[in-house]
Chain A
Amino acid sequence: MTLATENLLKPKDFATDQDPRWCPGCGDYAILNSVQRALAKQGIAPHKIATIAGIGCSSRFPYYMATYGFHTIHGRAPAVATGLKVARPDLQVWVATGDGDALSIGGNHFIHAVRRNVDVKVLLFNNRIYGLTKGQYSPTSELGKKTKSSPQGTVDNPFLPMSLAIGAEASFMGRSIDVDGKTLGDVLGAAAAHKGTAFVEIMQNCNIFNDGAWDHLSSKEFRADMTILLEHDKPMIFGANRDKGIRLNGLRPEVVTIGENGVTESDLWVHDAHDEDPTRAFLLSRMEYPAFPVPVGVIRAVQRPVYDALVNAQIVEQQAVKKANLQSLLNGRSTWTVA
């Protein structure tokens, strides 16, 4: 397929003939549309892409993507994707996963994929609940949350997925709300272009078991005040009136109002997505509701060596310096002959 044809790709070229089996009103529909749009936009043909998932509502994703696809087992998608990407660096590999899949049963694979910087895009559909098993708390459920398995409220402290990722040396972190198509599309586009593990947290609503999970951020009423869209090299400004900002006091972020107490735009924290030092990315990962607006957009995008590329470079390197002779390999170092 020529590049010219690829540029004419439409979102529907990434849709299969299978009807999604998500509940009507599920946030996953919006995510599926955004991903199909982002893939059409980047112009890589469906046959050069593989979509890998674990188990959970979100992990049905591969069935609805007209790429190569593998619906694996619970929590293991990053591991399957790692093997596939090492074997087939020519394919673009996407992982669809949920908060239980990626952070609970698959936590180990998630952090190790991120640490190795395998060139896969990991989409974390975070709805803070177990949906497919009908409503138990997840590792991102807020403390005290009442669910079927926590009738008196949870007593487990949740993960902040971004803090976990930065602790594992994430080279790319992006975040969006499911219904914010513009931001989600931009983040997915940046993730697609990134070399290395691109971790995207999508705050997704489960309208059956955790309806309104992100209303405090996503509703039109609060969104401008409770989220902050990060843009590289731009001061961190937010608010319905664009009059609030984040200032760094040493290593302590604080919310300030522009024009009050002598605060001007030049006092604000300027976002540097390419800062190799993870310290400030970690500070961003800790900015949580309600004390802070929750950062969305591309939080971090730095270059560091990519695992699958390094593995394959060693193969090429050894093939250049050593001749692969199977017979002499079988012969080994010393032989003897029986006549």
Chain B
Amino acid sequence: MTASATSAKPREVRESVIIRFAGDSGDGIQLTGNQFSAASALAGNDTATFPDYPAEIRAPTGTLFGVSGFQLHFASRDILTPGDRADVLVVMSPAALAVNRKWLKPNGILIANADSFQAKNLKMAGYTENPLEDGSLADFQLFQLDLSRLTNDALQGYGLSAKEVERCKNYFALGLVFWLFERDGGLVEDEIRRKFATKQLLLDANLKVFHAGWDYGENTELFALRYSVPSAKDIAPGTYRSIAGNEAVALGLVAASHRAGLDLFYGSYPITPATDILHTFAGLKEFGVRTFQAEDEIAAICATIGAAYGNQLAVTGTSGPGIALKSEAMGLAVMTELPLVIVNVQRGGPSTGLPTKTEQADLLQVLYGRNGESPMPVLAARSAGDAFESAFEAARIAVKYRVPVVLLTDGAIANGAEPWKIPDVDSLPIIEPNLLDDAAKLNGEPLLPYLRDPETLARPWIKLGTPGLEHRIGGLEKWDKTGHIAYDPQNHHNMVKVRQAKVDGIAAEIPPSHVEGPETGDVLVVTWGSPYGAALTAVRELQAQGLSVAHTNLRWLNPLPPDLHRILQKYRVVLVPEINNGQLVKVLRAAYALDIQQYNRISGLPLSVAELRDAIVNVLPH
């Protein structure tokens, strides 16, 4: 039987719904959330997700710090964020309720697994009274389910252990919410069949529980109403899929390697939240992708530099602590002018900080955190889907200019998923590696490894193994053109300047900035990275109220877009919201000597639409 959309109960149509699932780390919350997201995307909704999980893999059951959450925003219109607060909260335990009730809107639907609201769990969550019974949840529409009992009832006669039965209960909850929001269950059923392909008993049991959850919604008197979110109408035509930022980065780089005709090398050391990039690449060997799980972050980038010297599309990826370790080698790549892509999936810092939470506090680190004058192009993705294009662009620039390029994403982009319009491979730009691969190309002149292209200032990328092109490079300062070791004062000055000029010249690659809103006005909001969605949503809402506000997002952080200075001067106030203590704002103030406002919240969480609306209103000139 397939859970179908037919029902005898009345339905209410909603334009958008934000649902949040929460439970213990081992409750399958991320899986549940992802399956609901995928079904919503297939139903034609626009979607955005926000996984909010702890660093501990299986924190002790019932603890506050072990609560894992997943928020999904699905809508019949174009949306840009996973939403501020939820319309529906599903909690599997008292701890999940304690941590997440602040995220539920007043009068929101609260579905609680009542079975788990027992003395021990209540105590661990810090409750002296059972909140399901003491009236403290009167602001919400509370639905209590005995999930464990209902799951157990559904599995009578299956001969499963109590523990195995308990592990099925997230599918009961998923079945119920699928019923509640008219989602097609086929996708979940396929996933169960795939996951338990070799365990027939568990396959049958999970299917049964999923259907039981659906039937429960249909048959119980608890739920009188279903909700329908029609498919979105204002979405550009095309073929879509759901994609998370880490996967998008990997695919963007594989696509770049394909369009460059170069095999891809990925050197990395496991680190949250970047590790999924390594996982994705490790599964793409048929595309000529070599992965090197190094002994440490330093080896990861050094091996990558070796691969770049060996003419592969060389990529390393990490998070902030890993960038700190890679910094010296990043300088080597600057000095040797080899193409390299360095992905930094930012997380909360300093030090180990908040491994699973998002932050934007590595901008100054990647711009300036190296010894000597060590300029490096820096790009940032604004969303999961945009990470594909940004990664492709990072690779294209690295190869064209023979330069290491940093691509910044963050935890919210890395793990959050959104619909992505799949590009036609043939429409992607061709990347021309333009290797110096034949001594005959020298026309009898001596090989000059640091001879520069007059337009890009790029040096030749010499194909190793070519007779007559043997040469030496290294981290010591070198003579212009020959690349020999050089300590000459004027030569060093010139080389510092030319390395800078090369990076500055990349500005010619940056297309005109896109500003949404009036060309001149009261406030321009400037974002980079994941606050893009919330900021643009806030700006649109204020524009709808008649306010003179505009928004632009920077993909390029070094060099800055050539038209940015002119644009900033057209607004009475410029506001830069960031999940850090004010980093881009420092860069912009230094670059343009303008009085620029900042808004910052550094709590490991994405910025919300509501707070950005308030922040913009607060800086409106009177």
A261 part of interface (Cβ distance < 8 Å): no
**Which B residues are CB-close (under 8 A) to A331?**
239, 241, 422
- B-binding segment of A180-188, A201-209, A221-229, A315-323: A315-323
Residue of A nearest to B303 (CB): A83
With a cutoff of 8 Å between Cβ atoms, the chain A residues found around residue B474 in the complex are: 62-63, 69-72
Assembly CA distance A318 to B423 (angstroms): 25
Kindly state whether residue A148 has any CB partner on chain B within 8 Å.
no
Q: Which of B56-64, B214-222, B281-289, B494-502 contacts A (4 or more CB under 8 A)?
A: B281-289
B251 and A330 contacting across the interface, CB-CB below 8 Å: yes
Bound: A51/B531 CA distance, A: 46
Q: 8 Å CB contacts to B: which residues of A81-114? A: 81-88, 90-91, 108-109, 112
Is B350 part of the contact surface with A, judged by Cβ < 8 Å? no
B241 touches A338 (CB 8 A): no
Q: CB-CB contacts of B221-260 with A at 8 A, as 1s and 0s?
A: 0000000000010011111111100000001001100100
A330 contacts B267, C-beta separation under 8 Å = no
CA distance A329 to B253 in the complex (A): 12
Q: Does A166 count as interface, using CB distance less than 8 angstroms?
A: no
> How long is the Cα–Cα vector from A52 to B242 in the complex, in angstroms?
44
CB neighbours of B367 from chain A (8 A): none
> Does the CB pair B239–A337 fall under 8 Å?
yes
A63 near B298 with CB under 8 A, answer no
Interface stretch (choices A27-35, A40-48, A126-134, A152-160): A40-48
Are B239 and A336 touching (Cβ within 8 A)? yes
- A1 and B467 form a contact (CB under 8 A): yes
Query: B464, A88: Cβ atoms under 8 Å?
Result: yes
Task: Indicate if the CB atoms of A83 and B302 lie closer than 8 Å.
Answer: yes
Smallest Cβ-Cβ distance to B424: which chain A residue? A327
**A16 contacts partner chain B, Cβ-Cβ < 8 Å:** yes
Q: Which of B243, B306, B423 contacts A84 (CB 8 A)?
A: B306
B473 lies within 8 A of chain A by Cβ: yes
A230 part of interface (Cβ distance < 8 Å)? no
Is residue A263 contacting chain B, with contact meaning CB distance below 8 A? no
CB of A72 within 8 A of CB of B187, answer no
Q: Is B13 an interface position by the 8 A CB rule?
A: no
Question: Taking CB as reference atom, which chain B residue is nearest A111?
Answer: B295
Q: Which residues of B contact A46 (CB under 8 A)?
A: 470
Complex contacts, A65 vs chain B, CB 8 Å: 472
In the complex, the answer to whether A87 meets B310 with C-beta atoms within 8 Å is yes
Tell whether A80 pairs with B240 under 8 Å between CB atoms, given A68-B470, A330-B423. Answer: no
Q: How large is the interface on B (under 10, 10 to 19, 20 to 34, 35 or more residues)?
A: 35 or more
Are B471 and A69 in contact (CB-based, < 8 A)?
yes
State which of B241, B312, B472 has its C-beta within 8 Å of the C-beta of A87.
Answer: B312
Asked if B97 is an interface residue, CB under 8 A from chain A, the answer is: no
Listed residue (B44, B302, B307, B312) with the most chain A CB atoms within 10 angstroms of its CB: B302
Is A326 an interface position by the 8 A CB rule? Answer: yes
Q: Is A76 located at the chain interface by the 8 A CB criterion?
A: yes
Q: Compute how far the CA of A87 lies from the CA of B291 in the bound complex, rounded to whole angstroms.
A: 10
Interface residues on A, range: 35 or more
B288: contacting residue among A88, A319, A321, A336, CB under 8 A:
A319
Partner of A83 from the list B237, B284, B292, B476 (CB cut-off 8 Å) is B292
Measured CB to CB, the closest approach of chain A to B89, in angstroms, equals 27
Cβ-defined contact, A338 with B44, below 8 A? yes
Complex Cα–Cα for A46 and B439 (A): 14
Given contacts A70-B473, A79-B303, A334-B42, contact A63 B485 (CB under 8 A): yes
**Contact residues in A for B235 (Cβ distance below 8 Å):** 338
Enumerate A292-339 residues with CB–CB distance to B below 8 Å: 311-312, 314-315, 317-319, 321-324, 326-327, 329-339
Could you say which residues of chain B place their CB within 8 Å of the CB of A85?
306
B263 an interface residue at 8 Å Cβ cutoff?
yes
Given A88-B310, A91-B310, A330 contacting B465 (CB threshold 8 A): no
Look across to chain A and name the residue whose beta carbon is closest to the beta carbon of B335: A73
Partner of B307, one of A48, A87, A333: A87
Q: Are B237 and A338 in contact (CB under 8 A)?
A: yes
User: A18, B285: Cβ atoms under 8 Å?
Assistant: no
Contact of B239 among A48, A315, A335 (CB under 8 A): A335
Tell me which of A73, A76, A317, A330 has the highest count of chain B C-beta atoms within 10 A of its own C-beta.
Answer: A330
Do residues B306 and A68 form an inter-chain contact, with CB atoms below 8 A? Answer: no
State which residues 232-259 of A face B: CB under 8 Å. none
Report how far A70 CA is from B307 CA in the complex, Å: 12
Given A79-B294, A336-B240, A73-B329 contact (CB < 8 Å): yes
Asked whether any CB of chain A lies closer than 8 Å to the CB of B542, the reply is no
> Are A324 and B287 in touch, CB under 8 angstroms?
yes
Q: Does B553 contact A (CB under 8 A)?
A: no
Contacting residues, chain A, for B287 (C-beta < 8 A): 324, 326, 329
Q: Which residue of chain B has its CB nearest to the CB of A1?
A: B467
From B285, B295, B298, B311, give the contact of A319 (CB < 8 A). Answer: B285
Q: A46-B470, A67-B470, A329-B254 are in contact. Are A315 and B302 (CB under 8 A)?
A: no
Smallest Cβ-Cβ distance to A322: which chain B residue: B286
Contact pick for A68, options B305, B471, B475, CB 8 Å? B471
Q: What chain B residues lie within 8 Å of A16 (beta carbons)?
A: 472
CB distance from B329 to the nearest CB of A (A): 6
Candidates B286, B298, B304, B472; contact of A71 at CB < 8 Å: B472
- Complex Cα gap A18–B310 (Å): 23
A57 contacts the other chain (CB 8 A): no
Find chain B residues with CB under 8 A from A80 CB: 302-303, 305-306, 309
Q: CB-CB < 8 A to B41: which residues of A?
A: 336
> CA of A311 to CA of B292 in the docked complex: distance in angstroms?
9
A55 to B328, CA, bound (A): 13
A48 adjacent to B465 (CB under 8 Å): yes
Residue of B nearest to A109 (CB): B299
Q: Is B88 an interface residue (CB 8 A)?
A: no
Known contacts A73-B475, A88-B465, A338-B240; A315/B309 CB under 8 A: no
A15 CB, min distance to chain B CBs, angstroms:
12
Contacts of B187 in A (CB 8 A): 334
Contact of B267 among A66, A71, A83, A338 (CB under 8 A): A83
Q: Which residue of A lies closest to B291 (CB)?
A: A311
- Contact between chains at A47 and B310 (CB < 8 Å): no
Q: Which residues of B are found within 8 Å of A45, using beta-carbon distances?
A: 467
- Asked if A50 is at the interface of the complex by the 8 Å CB criterion, the answer is yes
User: Which residues of A sit under 8 angstroms from B236, Cβ to Cβ?
Assistant: 338
- Shortest distance in angstroms between A173's beta carbon and chain B's nearest beta carbon? 20
A292 to B263, CA, bound (A): 51
Q: Which residues of A contact B296 (CB under 8 A)?
A: 108
CB nearest to A14 among chain B residues: B470
Interface: B384 (CB within 8 A): no
**Contact A323–B286 (Cβ < 8 Å):** yes
In contact, B467 and A326 (Cβ under 8 angstroms): no
| Chain A residue at minimal CB-CB distance from B232 | A338
Which of B267, B303, B468 has a CB less than 8 Å from the CB of A47?
B468
**Chain A proximity mask over B304-322: 1 for CB below 8 Å, otherwise 0:** 1111011110100000000
The reply to whether A314 and B472 contact each other, CB–CB distance below 8 Å, is no
B424 partner residues in chain A, CB cutoff 8 A: 327
Would B238 and A76 count as touching, CB distance under 8 A? no
Complex contact A63–B306 (CB within 8 A): no
Given the contacts A81-B306, A315-B288, A338-B240, A86 and B265 also touching, CB distance less than 8 Å: yes
Given contacts A326-B254, A331-B239, contact A76 B302 (CB under 8 A): yes
State in angstroms the CA–CA spacing of A50 and B267 once bound together.
Answer: 20
Residues from chain A with Cβ under 8 Å of B413 in the complex: none
Known A63-B472, A88-B464; 7 more pairs at CB < 8 Å:
A68-B471, A69-B474, A71-B474, A76-B298, A87-B314, A330-B425, A338-B238
What are 5 of the A-B contact pairs (CB < 8 Å)?
Answer: A47-B465, A84-B307, A319-B288, A324-B288, A326-B425
- Top 3 A-B pairs, shortest CB-CB distance: A71-B474, A83-B306, A83-B303
| Residue ranges of A at the interface with B (Cβ–Cβ < 8 Å) | 1, 16, 18, 45-48, 50, 52, 55, 62-63, 65-73, 76, 79-88, 90-91, 108-109, 112, 311-312, 314-315, 317-319, 321-324, 326-327, 329-339
Residues of chain B touching chain A, judged by Cβ–Cβ distance below 8 Å, are: 38, 41-42, 44, 187, 232, 235-243, 251, 254-255, 258, 263, 265, 267, 284-290, 292, 294-296, 298-299, 302-307, 309-312, 314, 328-329, 332, 336, 422-425, 464-476, 484-485
